[in-house]
Amino acid sequence: MYVPFVNLEVMHNEIRNEIFNKFMEVYNNNWFILGNEVKSFEEEFADFCNARYCIGCGNGLDALYLILRGYEIGVGDEVIVPSNTYIATSLAVSYAGAKPIFVEPDINSYNMDTDLIEQAITDRTKAIIAVHLYGQPAEMSRINYIAQKHNIKVIEDSAQAHGAIYKNRKTGSLGDAAGFSFYPGKNLGALGDAGAVVTNDEELADKIRAIANYGSRRKYYNRYKGTNSRLDEVQAAILRIKLKQLNKWNEFRDKIAQRYLEGINNSQIVKPHIGDYTTKHAWHLFVVRSEGRDDFQKYLNDSGIGTVIHYPIPMHLQEAYSDMNFTRGDFPIAEKISTEVLSIPLWYGMKEEEIQYVIDTINAWR
Ligand SMILES: *Cc1c(COP(=O)(O)O)cnc(C)c1O
């Protein structure tokens, strides 16, 4: 049997006609930037997150960057980010001109260890970016508490957590502002690059809307040295159709995750740990951990099961950050995770026999 790591075909086949008809509608409207589809999507996605404002933008990296710009965080400032995340979290900080300060993850949740945040805060710290890694919410109450005490902002990197719920509240509404990515493989994905900022902060929303559009609220009158990062009408129209399916797709992901959690019983394999504050995990990724990970990956690959490592190199060891002069051993938990994690197939439309084959193959390892 062959089980690919990801397959968007089932999902896309189910909405094929609706997407094609909508595409024709946008095509016939001849209005492609900042029109009614974007406006409607922004309202619908803000509603989905139980937040007041949503501003569409070019991608998830830009969403985080725009939030930092909106809060005027830049040169000379520090922003706390996890040492264990996708590099976009940290690059958004660098791109804004500020310095990322890495904080180690908790080995069980893989999210930032909240006991280590305060010692990383200095008088230059302006914000904490909490990543809901793999779809599990970060420990937001504690992060908000620390941030309030030090008068700094809390930014959610929700790129992997559309629809995840923390203590009965949706991600995207848990901090001061949240960045979402709609990269095609995310739980809610466009047919290309797209992203959004979600916030309850009216002033921030208004400012980000301008910064993302050349710093302008009124055409040819430029208040800020802005950028061009806009969600376009075609992607917004597609996202509106997909948003209607998101709860169903996330439920399906959850069913697969429950089958894996119950079925995988190989003592060499550490399964994901679900925090008691997690009301709903978005299961963007199902990540297992094992010593001998590379052998394990090869074994699964030889058995026809696609896997991906999220992520093989922690931030501080990336060549892009060699200027920070970190060495191996500086963030040992992130390093350990990077050598042990492996993401296994989890996608809408997986068949029961495919799920069972993944479980049986994993249980037969060694
Ligand atoms: C995907 C992702 C991003 C970046 O999103 P893009 O749309 O690819 O720019 C940021 N943070 C995390 C955690 C991600 O997984």
Q: What is the pLDDT along the chain (366 residues), one digit of tens a residue?
A: 999 999 999 999 999 999 999 999 999 999 999 999 999 999 999 999 999 999 999 999 999 999 999 999 999 999 999 999 999 999 999 999 999 999 999 999 999 999 999 999 999 999 999 999 999 999 999 999 999 999 999 999 999 999 999 999 999 999 999 999 999 999 999 999 999 999 999 999 999 999 999 999 999 999 999 999 999 999 999 999 999 999 999 999 999 999 999 999 999 999 999 999 999 999 999 999 999 999 999 999 999 999 999 999 999 999 999 999 999 999 999 999 999 999 999 999 999 999 999 999 999 998
- Cα gap 42→34, rounded to integer Å: 11
Please give the pLDDT value at position 26: 97
For the full predicted model, state whether its pTM sits above 0.75. Answer: yes
Of the candidates 135, 154, 176, the residue with the CA atom closest to the CA atom of residue 278: 135
Cα–Cα distance between 153 and 23 in angstroms, integer? Answer: 39
CA of 174 to the centre of ligand 1 (A): 18
Predicted local distance difference test score (pLDDT) of residue 300: 98
Name which of 170, 198, 165, 196 is nearest 182 in CA terms: 196
133 CA to centre of ligand 1 in angstroms: 11
User: Alpha-carbon distance 45 to 316, whole Å?
Assistant: 34
**Tokens describing residue 103:** 């904080």
CA dihedral 155, 315, 110, 192 (to 10 degrees): 60
pLDDT of residue 30: 96
Q: Which atom of ligand 1 lies closest to the CA of 183?
A: 7
Q: Compute the distance from residue 263 Cα to the ligand 1 centre, in Å.
A: 30
pLDDT the model gives residue 175: 98
Coil, strand or helix: which one is 105?
Answer: strand
Q: Which residues line ligand 1 (CB under 6 A)?
A: 59-61, 85-86, 88-89, 131, 157, 159-160, 181, 183, 193, 195
The predicted structure's pLDDT at residue 259: 98
∠129-135-138 over CA atoms, to 5°? 40
Q: 3-state DSSP: the chain helix, strand, coil percent, rounded to 5?
A: 40, 20, 40
**CA distance linking residue 305 with residue 301, whole number of Å:** 5
Distance 158 CA to ligand 1 centre (A): 8
Chain-centre distance for alpha carbon 262: 26
Model pLDDT, residue 138: 98
Q: Which atom of ligand 1 is nearest to the CA of 62?
A: 9
Task: Report the 10 Å Cβ neighbour count for 72.
Answer: 11
Give the distance (Å) from ligand 1 centre to CA of residue 5: 18
| 197 Cα: distance to centroid of ligand 1 (angstroms) | 13
Angle between helices 233-243 and 16-29 (to 10 degrees): 150
User: What is residue 103's three-state secondary structure?
Assistant: strand
Q: Which of 85, 89, 134 has most ligand 1 atoms within 8 Å of CB, for mutation?
A: 89
